[in-house]
């Protein structure tokens, strides 16, 4: 069964980000790099097609500082 995470917001912790920019390489349509070389989520709404969603998950997994979070807005299972 395919996990429905199509509306999961994303967040980058600027305090953890060291500007490796792997997220930008993997999902340039979602992430951006500031002049201070800190990544941010240019699109935080989580409204992505499947390909973009796969790229965002890859970026989360690739971040060496684990600075990228997927925000769980569901209360399901609580």
Q: How does DSSP classify residue 22?
A: H
Each residue of 13-57: pLDDT tens digit? 999 999 999 999 999 999 999 999 999 998 767 778 899 999 999
Tell me, what's the pLDDT at 73?
61
Q: Which fold has domain 10-68?
A: Alpha-Beta Plaits (3.30.70)
Helix runs in 1-78, H state only? 22-26, 50-62
**Whole-angstrom Cα distance, residue 24 to residue 7?**
20
* Residue whose C-alpha is closest to residue 48's, from 74, 10, 75, 14: 10
Contact 73, 6 (CB under 8 A): no
pTM: 0.80
């Amino acid at each position: 069964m395919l996990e429905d995470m199509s509306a999961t917001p994303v967040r980058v912790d600027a305090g953890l980000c060291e500007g490796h920019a792997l997220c930008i390489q993997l999902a340039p349509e979602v992430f951006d790099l500031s002049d201070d070389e800190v990544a941010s989520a240019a699109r935080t709404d989580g409204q992505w097609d499947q390909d973009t969603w796969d790229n965002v998950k890859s970026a989360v997994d690739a971040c060496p500082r684990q600075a990228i979070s997927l925000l769980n807005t569901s209360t399901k299972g609580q």
